[in-house]
Amino acid sequence: MDLKDKLISSFMAFENNVDVEHPVHDVRMEAIKNFEKKGFPTKKEEAWKYTSLNGLQKIDFSIFPKEENALEYKDVKKYFLHEIDTYKIVFIDGIYSSYLSETTHDGVDICLMSAALTKPMYQPVIDVYFNKVASKDESLTTLNTAFSREGAYIYIPKNKMPRKPIEILHFATGNEASLMLQPRNLVIVEENAEVQIIERHQSLTSNEVLTNSVTEIFAAKNAIVDYYKIQNDAPTASLIDNTYIDQKDKSVVRVHTFSFGGKLTRNNLNFYQNGEHIDSTMKGVTILGDKQHVDHHTLVHHIEPNCESHQDYKGIYGDSSTGVFNGKIIVDKIAQKTNAFQQNNNILVSDKATINTKPQLEIFADDVKCSHGCTIGQLDEDALFYLQTRGIPQKEARALLMYAFANNVLATVRIPELKTRINKLIANKLGVNLGFDL
């Protein structure tokens, strides 16, 4: 039985553990029909031209964990942003861990999708927001929708801001020989509200893990959302991350994606600007080695006038790694005075490394400022020689140049302790001591 057939047959078992009378289950039923019709995407599709899921489909993944597993905080402390106090929503093999979590209902809701999808008090919000911006057509998103039950539920009411950042952590223990996880997150930030969120997926063993994640983010008028994705997983972990963002007037949403680890990572990041004077920012740093594969697909749809979007992705590729960047900007006819910037710069530090990059503009308005571009190259030999003449060994000189290349992306990280943590991850990934206090 291949993975598609296993998932479809497992849906009946899934139904035994959810309320099939709940309105959300109608959404699930429609979604599983869509996935059954479409199946997994293939390289014949333009959007998946450079990324194959064939190898993953041959693995006999467990769809549900056989038992609930526990972890001690001391064993996973390094994966938390423990330098500061945070709210924490933690899942172990897809199951909520109350022991490792710190949630709240004190003026804001930082809790679980399983509660939001079952308790009547959340029903009015679920009716308005659940599955409203996520694609009804993209097959892996509909697969997640079909199995949606658990994940993070974050609701920030009007004029509120949580007193500390929120961490969403997904741990895979390896107690299953191979495990598939499908977390579903819903983030709602009402008018004049603000939130900072850090998300991480972490496998703790060498067993295969496939995560198919969907996050919906709604930013109301004047809302501010900072979302940080830390992707530094084990070499046997694969992640398909689908994020959909709906913005209203004068809202600001910034998403930073740091891709350093994992076997195969696909990031689908989609912004929809449903208002004026909106600011959307997407920044990313990718540093790969071995046979790692990371594919960034971004979309910004400018629907109304007087809005801005900024995309800046940097990639450093070594060994036999592969990178993909496909960024699309759509400017509707009425979206005049749009200012859209997109840039993708890459360094290949190995003759066997590969990068496929395709920035796209679809502009139907005539009074706009739109630019896009990409570069692919190697380290500047003159700069490398200069550093060596100043007594810096070649390996450290190369690392300093690569660090400088990626550093401007870090400048917009608004949590200082997180910026320090990312600096350390970059240094570790480059394999050298950069020679200054991190």
Question: What is the distance between the alpha carbons of residues 34 and 137, in angstroms, rounded to a whole number?
Answer: 7
pLDDT number for residue 208:
97
On whether the CB atoms of residues 34 and 142 are closer than 8 A, the answer is yes
pLDDT number for residue 280:
98
Nearest to 92 by CA among 1, 165, 183, 220: 183
pLDDT number for residue 403:
84
How many percent of the chain have pLDDT more than 70? 98
Question: What is the distance between the alpha carbons of residues 156 and 194, in angstroms, rounded to a whole number?
Answer: 7
pLDDT number for residue 404:
84
Beta bridge partner(s), residue 88: 102, 167
CA atoms within a 13 Å half-sphere pointing along the CA-CB vector of 424: 11
- Mean pLDDT estimate for the chain: 95
Query: pTM for this one?
Result: 0.96
Tokens 């350390």, residue located: 424
- The continuous run of DSSP H or E covering 218 comes out as strand 208-219
Q: Is the model's pLDDT at 46 over the cut of 70?
A: yes
Q: Which long-range contacts (CB under 8 A, 24 or more apart) does 107-112 make?
A: 107/157, 107/160, 108/154, 108/155, 108/156, 108/157, 108/160, 108/162, 109/153, 109/154, 109/155, 110/152, 110/153, 110/154, 110/162, 110/166, 111/153, 112/150, 112/151, 112/152, 112/153
pLDDT number for residue 438:
37
pLDDT number for residue 435:
52
Give tens-digit pLDDT for 338-372. Answer: 999 999 999 999 999 999 999 899 999 999 999 99
pLDDT band at 434 (very low <50, low <70, confident <90, very high): low
Q: Is the model's pLDDT at 282 over the cut of 60?
A: yes
Q: Is the model's pLDDT at 431 over the cut of 70?
A: yes
Nearest to 328 by CA among 380, 272, 277: 272
CA atoms within a 13 Å half-sphere pointing along the CA-CB vector of 121: 6
**The pair of three-digit structure tokens given for residue 404, joined into one six-digit string:** 């400088």
Residue range 21-49: mean pLDDT, rounded: 96
**Which residue did the predictor score with more confidence, 230 or 380?**
230
pLDDT number for residue 335:
98
Neighbours of 37 (CB within 10 A): 9
Nearest to 402 by CA among 438, 429, 372, 368: 429
Residue range 233-243: mean pLDDT, rounded: 97
Burial of 197 by CB count in 10 Å (0-12 exposed, 13-18 middle, 19+ buried)?
A: buried
Q: Is the model's pLDDT at 267 over the cut of 60?
A: yes
Residue range 276-297: mean pLDDT, rounded: 97
pLDDT number for residue 127:
96
Per domain, the residue ranges of the chain are 1-252+264-275, 277-378, 379-437
**The pair of three-digit structure tokens given for residue 9, joined into one six-digit string:** 């047959």
Give tens-digit pLDDT for 139-182. Answer: 999 999 999 999 999 999 999 999 999 999 999 999 999 999 99
Residue 18 makes CB contacts below 8 A (sequence gap 6+) with 25, 28, 149
Question: What is the distance between the alpha carbons of residues 418 and 252, in angstroms, rounded to a whole number?
Answer: 20
On whether the CB atoms of residues 403 and 397 are closer than 8 A, the answer is no
pLDDT number for residue 437:
41
The Cα-based distances of 428 to 149, 422, 425 in angstroms read: 36, 10, 5
pLDDT number for residue 436:
46
Neighbours of 236 (CB within 10 A): 18
Three-state SS annotation for 232-290: CCCCCEEEEEEEEEEECCCCEEEEEEEECCCCEEEEEEEEEECCCCCEEEEEEEEEECC
pLDDT number for residue 273:
98
Residue range 5-19: mean pLDDT, rounded: 94
Q: Is the model's pLDDT at 249 over the cut of 50?
A: yes
